[in-house]
Structure 1
Amino acid sequence: MANFSLVTEFILLGFPELQRQKTAFFTILLLMYLISVTGHCLIIVVVFMETKLHTPMYFFLINFSMAEICSTTTEVPKLLANILSEKSTICFACCMAQGLMVFAMGAVVFIILTVMSFDRYVAICKPLQYKTIMTNELCLCLMLLAWVGGFVIIFSQSSVVWTYPYCGDNIIDHFFCDVGPVLKLACADTTLIELIGLIYGATIMWGSFGLSLISYTFIIATIIRIPSATGRSKAFFTCASHLTIVTMFYLGLMFMYLRPATHGDPHVNKVVSLVRTSFIPMLNPFIYTIRNKDFKIAAWKAVRRKVFL
């Protein structure tokens, strides 16, 4: 260590192979980011304005939208700035804070998705007991668990990553401060923290994904018994679209993080991360809310009320 100086900033390599197409890449990425943020903000505003949408489902969707906005805003604006700049640097503290926020929001989203699937299970499979089960107190406790639990779980690991010495090479082969590329630069043995991260990741991801699949299995079984063919197809289409997005989200993260953090092809990881960061958040508002009939009616009411005022 005496022969090395500690790193005070990192260089985010990003996508150097797209340098010649950086204008098109920047435009597409910016468009997806704006659509994502606008869609999630629309959900939050409309639900707050329309009292008929003050239900557990939309309460969970508001929290989901806030987590998605925080996650994408932590990554995408910095990536957009780096595309246009000649040297893409990020300070040490900023890098660690970015990693903490990205993974904390990921953990929050895992828990919220599980809660949302349980909420839909109760609404579809036990409609007569829905109000007695999904009380305001339970909904509030579940969301507090999601936000506090997500940050506590990730902070306990991130604080260890902060303490490692980083010397010599400071180039991160990614577009954000992902834990794997960062740990590769540490001048210490990172085997233990990688093992702990792997155990945490497997527990959270598989636990959340497994519980969501159980809920959707019961939902599909109930939908099959719907006597009306039109109602059955409509409900099945909605459930299938939700399950598709959930599966894409989980499988992408499992592919990247359910193995030692410093392993894996960095180019493949960057592409999968970009899909998770930009493409899926852009689809989520449309899949979960905006194409919902009740939400569209409430949105039009809110627009007419605003115009009238």
Structure 2
Amino acid sequence: MHMKMFFLLFFFALPFVMADLQVGFYKPTCPQAESIVRQVVQNEFTGDRSITAALLRMHFHDCFVSGCDASILIDSTNKKPSEKEAGPNQTVRGYEVIDKAKKRLEDACPSTVSCADIITLAVRDAVALAGGPNYTVATGRRDGLESSPSKVILPGPEISVSGALQMFSAKGMTGNEMVTLLGAHTVGVAHCFFFNDRLSSPDPTMDPALVAKLKKTCAGNDEATAFLDQSRTPFTIDNQYYKQILLRRGILQIDQELALDNSTSRIVSGFASNGIGFRQSFAKAMIKLGNLQVLVGKAGEIRNNCRAFNLANRKAAN
């Protein structure tokens, strides 16, 4: 049985420091670090534009659990399951992109660039390639030493707006930032099992024409997918998502509720009418997301392989 859990040009002047993270952190030790990540993401995006949505989802699922520490990348072992085993992470993908970047970085600068920074940089680059804002990322994150499925608690597709606000607030995020980050649904897809219940007994908040279309898409196949943005730009980061949910064309319950709830409807309308405002807010929210509970200094480690703790810490973990 599928667990119905989901998840889910703005510049800053240099130098820019956020907490103990710093723009250009790797310039002294691995000056080509950011260009290596960018090249890997560019190559992947050229062949698969959906990689932007995949990396956005990975980033959110990583940062929203125990902070941006790359704990989502750890593979399970016979002795210990990792976050990858949790229901919400069963459909997370894009790990191979991080692996490719890590391999190239280890060849160029061994034991220097963290997997947590690779994810954050890769997402930044994928967003820009998909037409979204090009924002500056401060680096210096360290990789975490724990990855447990029991800690994976994320907003589900059927969560109420008030419930989602509580979860985001617990992470220090505002309601505006929550609505902004859900705007990442302007790219990507959802499997039918995430929203079939809205079709079986047609949800009155969903456009009847969309209900009919999705019934054909999902007929007899829970694994089929539908674009979360039903406009003509499902691979582009723009404000079409907000326009669509105002037309009652939100695929997931939480998406549609954003346009209907009094606490968020005004924000949705604002973004729907102001694409530049959305881009600026999206850049700021992504920067804030990427700085949640980061490990810096001597905390954590710099993994040699993003899928496994380093040997000494692996022994301690087991």
Same fold (TM over 0.5): no
In our comparison, the structure showing a higher alpha carbon Rg is: 1
Structure with the bigger percentage of helix = 1
Q: Provide the TM-score with structure 2 as the length reference.
A: 0.31
TM-score normalised to the size of structure 1?
A: 0.31
